[in-house]
Amino acid sequence: MTESFGARLRRAMDERGPLCVGIDPHASLLAEWGLADDVAGLERFSRTVVAALAGRVAVLKPQSAFFERFGSRGVAVLERTVAEARAAGALVVMDAKRGDIGSTMAAYAESFLREDSPLFSDALTVSPYLGYGSLAPAVALARESGAGLFVLALTSNPEGGEVQHAVRADGRTVGATVLGHLAAENAGEEPLGSFGAVVGATLGDLSAYDLDINGPLLAPGIGAQGATPADLPRVFGAAVRNVVPNVSRGVLRHGPDVVALRDAASRLAEEVAAAVAGA
């Protein structure tokens, strides 16, 4: 793949709007859709979301855990979901939050970032909390394959602060250190770097952090967690144009009706675009 993830993402955001919809088939949502909590329900749910949205939104983000819980048959559904979403034109961010060291990190990277892997995705979420350098195998393979990474930096869960806001000996917080590493990865890349950060849309004033990493900012928290598109300029400031807001239940609860799913995603995409344009 000759074109970088950052370039593909920038184009998709400009053409389709900067919205990422999660594919989160947890048991309660399957029940809301009238589906059984089994592999058949999982596949029906996932294929419906892909059919409704993959040709319309910039990014789809399957949560690997909700597929893995069904074992090999669930992973097979995930493989098909990724392939069908990418074939329909959506970029796929695999939300697996992998993080390890050495050959184990390399194996995780190969699972999702090697072009001939059945789970090959446009980008992968990863955890840097064994040290940013532990991600080196994933960074290298992402560069080689034209894929990207979203690195957990300032997450929306309340527990994250005890690690991410901790202050190092040099006076920088852990979260700021992660952002600094990503800025270095993306230096000189145009139109957008491929190494993004996960930064919660629920975090309020982040002016103490330099979010200008020349890369995308995946922003969970829209909808069920309380953030709205109108909050984005206040939270992200000058970096708001590179924000990829993530919403799951706010769209998925409108299923299984395909038209309702599309309408919900379109409304949110329009709200995000208006918020960004007005920033």
Return d(Cα 107, Cα 95) in angstroms, integer: 16
The verdict on whether 61 is a catalytic residue reads no
Catalytic residue among 80, 86, 97, 241: 97
Catalytic residues: 97
